[in-house]
Amino acid sequence: MACTPTALSERVLEYCRERHLLEGLRGLRVGFSGGADSTALLLILASSGLEIEAVHLHHGLRGEAADADQAWCERFCRARGVAFVSARLEVPCRRQAGESLEAAGRRLRLAYWQATTPAGSAVALGHHHDDCLEDLLLRLARGAHSGGLTAMRPRVEIGGVRLVRPLLEVRRAAIEEFLRARGIADWRCDHSNADTRLRRNAVRHEWLPALRATVGHDDGLGRSLEALRDDADCLASLAGSALRAVGSPAALRHLHPALLPRVLRLWLQQQTGQDWVVSRDTLLRLRQEVAAFDGRPRQITLGRGRLLQLDGGGLRLIPAASAVLPRRWEWGRDPMLELSEVGLRLEAAVVPGAVVAASAGEARRRPLRSGRWPTSWRSAPGSQAIGWCLSAGRRRRSCRTSSGRRGCRAGGAGAVRWW
């Protein structure tokens, strides 16, 4: 794609017309971080003829650097007569138990757009082609299906809000060249993006350059993305037609494995107005319960304080009043874990020769027997007992909790205290 200012602007607006991204809109809100991609997007969409508002979301991270980003964005918009608004999400304070900062940021951003975007307006985001390639490799490494591998789409509707990405066919280099041609070279840079200990940065600075050096280009990844998008669209259409299967255990049992996660995600969106990505463990558990269903209600922890209940009427979504939600605890980094849903706090501590155990209203210490430590814990909705595991010998740095099944096996010379 040509990257001269006029050519790039025209091509992006044509991309919007071809995919009906701005169709029927009166206003457009542009997510404006101050980075090169969102800065270019804001300048291009300012010529779309729509009422434009730049929105800067402060995540409560990076301290003074984030404050400086917000001030730069406000000055940039004021100098060009673009409406500007900012909001603080305070991600660290509002992160849910077991939720990563990245996941919390995504959830809070979407909640903000849903709460503040008026009817007749959409939200434009600055994701570009390089972001799509990075996302493809990351999600491939995590084991995503075609819908997950192609999650960055030109247009999606979530919870009544239209999200559009007009730059998905534009390379990062073209975006930066566009800005320099407009006399802009001081866009904001998040210096943590150079830290290759973070996975996305490793993909950007190490994986993709290595692939390009080996193959000579990354065009094949782009072609794979297009093919995967077609596959995902086809399966999404079939899932919409199969949505009634959630009302019958027998229909769920005969649903194709490729459709079950898509049907479940679509149904959850309709039930809650939120976007849900169901974990692999939850899907496996659901398949097992559907296959073995004998008429007795079964409950599966879903997350976000909800349970899936399978009964004679199919699937139901119910509150998880007493369930311990799945989460990952890296006690070597953070020795405290809040289990807010059951009113408990866990503390990892070295307790040689003993292990601490507890139930809902009691804590007790049990001595080691034959030098062995417990190696797993179990909890279930409505149950009183909560057990824990640490074992002497081989040490691991983290543990994953779960509800309704064995979910934690770990090691390390230590124990856990409840109160």
CB 326 within 8 A of CB 301: yes
3-state secondary structure of 356: strand
- 1 pLDDT more than 60: no
What pLDDT does residue 344 have? 54
Helix (H, G, I), strand (E, B) or coil at 415: strand
The model's confidence at residue 269, banded by pLDDT at 50, 70 and 90, is confident
Burial class (CB in 10 A: 0-12, 13-18, 19+), 8: buried
35-74 confidence digits (pLDDT tens)? 999 999 999 999 888 999 999 999 998 899 999 999 999 9
State what percent of residues in the chain have pLDDT above 70: 76
pLDDT category at 416 given cuts 50, 70, 90 is: very low
Whether the predicted pLDDT of 266 surpasses 50: yes
Say whether pLDDT at 293 is over 80.
yes
pLDDT for 325 equals 54
Q: How far apart are CA 158 and CA 275, in angstroms?
A: 6
What's the token pair of residue 6?
């006029």
Mean pLDDT of all residues in 18-32: 95
pLDDT in tens, 117-168: 999 999 999 999 999 999 999 999 988 999 999 999 999 988 789 999 999 9
CA distances from 10 to 1, 21, 166, 204, 265 (A): 11, 15, 12, 28, 36
Give the pLDDT confidence of 305-344 residue by residue, as tens digits: 788 999 999 999 988 765 555 556 666 667 777 654 444 5
pTM metric for this prediction = 0.71
Which residues 6+ apart lie within 8 Å of 363 measured at CB? 356, 357, 417, 418, 419
Over pLDDT 90: what percentage of the chain? Answer: 58
Distance (Å, rounded) from C-alpha 6 to C-alpha 282? Answer: 49
Helix (H) or strand (E) holding 301: strand 298-303
- Asked if 375 and 410 count as a contact pair (C-beta separation under 8 A), the reply is yes
